[in-house]
Amino acid sequence: MTSIPHDTPGEPDPLRALDLARLRRRTSLKWRTYPEDVLPLWVAEMDVPLAEPVIRAVTDALALGDTGYPVGTAYAEALAAFGAERWDWHGIAVERTAIVPDVMLGVVEMLKLVTGPGDPVIVNSPVYPPFFQFITHMDRRVVENPLGTGLRIDPASLEETFRQATAGGGRAAYLLCSPHNPTGTVHTATELAAVAGLAERYGVRVVADEIHAPLVAPGVTFVPYLSVPGAERGLSLMSASKGWNLAGLKAAVALAGPAAGADLDRLPEEVGHGPSHLGVIAHTAALRDATGWLDALLAGLRANRHLLTGLLAEHLPAVRLHAAEATYLAWLDCRALGLGDDPAQVFLDRGRVALSSGLPFGTGGAGHVRLNLATSPDILTEGIRRMAAALS
């Protein structure tokens, strides 16, 4: 049998706090998309209670009737303090930040600042499906640059893509996913510096989606894109959303490198009216007061990654698990199972377990599934059991 590591000292593991019956009372996308006989291990929602400091901050605001429009720099200040403590990054200049409704809408606004209709936006596939959707809906062109060996950025391939994208002298942007979703890859300082150098050489503007930055495994170093040499013209989006399970409390921070402040100054004023004031309050409290909760979560995720590795070896040995360094997502290569391009549909139909299909992630997604392991060990174990049963 697969062993389950014990909790680490400190706050209790939030992944062990809720049972399936209580989780099924939730009314969010994860729990209302499929019938009750389906076990949902798909969309990026965690099966955790909220951190107490977040609950207190939001409850206090509700008690005051403090539900107006957001204002101020408290969120950015909390993010700057968190970045200094967690990533040894002291480069967040609050005057070069803005609050935006969420990371993807922030990405859209940043791309509007540095590209025009019809311009190419380069992405490293397989990658978060909304990248394709939002880029297309804003009348830009998606240009895929597939990840290379080990599902890492291939600088030589990226340079060729940059060269082709800018060959006509037009504008181009590179939408960087860091840490990468769905693979959990954490880009190194060397890799990011290479990206920055190529971007400067070819005049490509970099917009970094760094929403998963708080969710880096213990012992792995997250490097903010704007911290590397040559990234001065970069733009970044960060949020407490993924790290503390606050997707329904909308807010994010846009950050500009030292040479991109003038771009951010052109952000329309009305964009800052879009974030939820309660969201800003919640995210600020998470970054400032709930780092102990985050540490307990990270320990639980490490235990679940260990558990998943053992469960796959025991029940689905033909499935290849990419060793993730961040996020709470697992990228599973199911091609050896012979289930076709969309094994997620087979696992849903035959096993009644919902996973994210690899197909919408672009090139490299066929035959893969993305599994959300931010759940209890019992639910994770049941999910793998159902996947195995779907093959019999």
Looking at residue 6, its pLDDT comes to 37
Q: Which amino acid is at 328?
A: Y
**Per-residue model confidence (pLDDT) at position 169:** 87
pLDDT for residue 9: 54
pLDDT above 60 for 141: yes
Task: Determine the average pLDDT of the residues in 4-22.
Answer: 78
SS3 readout for the chain: CCCCCCCCCCCCCHHHCCCHHHHCCCCCHHHHCCCCCCEECCCCCCCCCCCHHHHHHHHHHHHHCCCCCCCCCHHHHHHHHHHHHHHCCCCCCHHHEEEECCHHHHHHHHHHHHCCCCCEEEECCCCCCHHHHHHHHCCCEEEECCCCHHHCCCHHHHHHHHHHHCCCCCCCEEEEECCCCCCCCCCCHHHHHHHHHHHHHHCCEEEEECCCHHHECCCCCCCCHHHCCCCCCCEEEECCCCCCCCCCCCCEEEEECCCCHHHHHCCCHHHHHCCCHHHHHHHHHHHHHCHHHHHHHHHHHHHHHHHHHHHHHHHCCCCEECCCCECCEEEEECHHHCCCCCHHHHHHHHHCEECEECHHHCCCCCCEEEEECCCCHHHHHHHHHHHHHCCC
Q: Which is higher by pLDDT, 392 or 216?
A: 216
| Least confident range of 7-16, 68-77, 239-248 | 7-16
> Mind listing the pLDDT tens digit for each residue in 299-334?
999 999 999 999 999 999 999 999 899 999 999 999
Which residues pair with residue 100 across a beta bridge?
Answer: 252
Q: Strand pairing of 368-372 and 329-333?
A: antiparallel
Share of the chain above pLDDT 70, in %: 98
Q: What is the tens place of the pLDDT at every residue in 370-383?
A: 999 999 999 999 99
* Confidence band for 10, pLDDT divided at 50, 70 and 90: confident
Nearest in space to 141 (alpha carbons), one of 160, 166, 106, 158: 166
Domains and CATH numbers, the chain: 14-51+291-389 (3.90.1150.10), 55-289 (3.40.640.10)
Residue 1 has pLDDT above 70, yes or no: no
Q: Which residue has the tokens 């102990």?
A: 292
Does residue 5 surpass a pLDDT of 60? Answer: no
- pLDDT tens by residue, 178-195: 999 999 999 999 999 999
Confidence (pTM)? 0.95
Query: How far apart, in whole angstroms, are the C-alpha atoms of residue 112 and residue 135?
Result: 10
